[in-house]
Amino acid sequence: MLKKRSFLIISTVALLVFLLSGCSADTANGKIEYDHVAMPEETDPYYIIGFADYVFVGSTLSDGSSVTLPSGNKRLEYDISVRECLKGSLAKAIKAAYPAYYENDGTLVLMEGETMQDDGLPEKGKNYIFVGTAQPDGSILLESLYAKTEYNEDSYQRFIDYVANETSVDRERFISSFEIGSD
């Protein structure tokens, strides 16, 4: 009876460990692949900032969690503490979708263009300058190749210049649910 009970307990624990440790979409396996994004103006930050709705300094409060956007695209969503808005007006705590995701096997997929390549995911607690656009559902999607720039005085001054001299881009714009003053 004791052997049967021990076998049942060990089998149950083994099954639980197997089920809980299965390959989840948030489990990195160390492999990286790149999705190509077509951004004709990828080398023109003034255009990218003109296209964007928000440019802000902040830090990530969490590791990214996998989400599927209404478009069906996978992304990693981050909780971000907003320290300063350079363009737009956002609440102090927001969520934003980063242009990267994990394949089912744990391979990290980052974005690359013709001349630029994402260098990795935002690190929890680190300060960045983020660039994003409001989506029709009120969420914020960070820009593919300008999603995050490590914050330092030089990058901050560059982005102040980009915002002050941005190229006017005529496109349909939406309001994020994290925008101050939005419903």
Is the pLDDT at 162 greater than 50? The verdict is yes
Tokens of 83: 């320290």
pLDDT digits (tens, 9 = 90+) for 88-146: 999 999 999 999 999 889 899 998 888 888 888 999 999 999 999 999 999 999 987 88
Structural contact between residues 113 and 155, judged by C-beta atoms closer than 8 angstroms: no
Q: How far apart are CA 69 and CA 72, in angstroms?
A: 5
* CATH fold of 27-164: OB fold (Dihydrolipoamide Acetyltransferase, E2P) (2.40.50)
Cβ neighbours of residue 177 closer than 8 Å, sequence gap 6 or more? 138, 139, 183
Is the pLDDT at 11 greater than 70? The verdict is no
Give all strands of the β-sheet with 32-36 in edge-to-edge order: 32-36, 108-112, 101-102
pLDDT digits (tens, 9 = 90+) for 53-100: 999 999 999 999 999 888 888 999 999 999 999 999 999 999 999 999
Tokens of 62: 């969490």
Q: How far apart are CA 11 and CA 3, in angstroms?
A: 12
Is the pLDDT at 10 greater than 50? The verdict is no
Structural contact between residues 92 and 168, judged by C-beta atoms closer than 8 angstroms: no
Cβ neighbours of residue 98 closer than 8 Å, sequence gap 6 or more? 64, 75, 76, 77, 78, 121, 122, 142, 147, 148
pLDDT digits (tens, 9 = 90+) for 25-57: 445 788 999 888 887 788 899 999 999 999 999
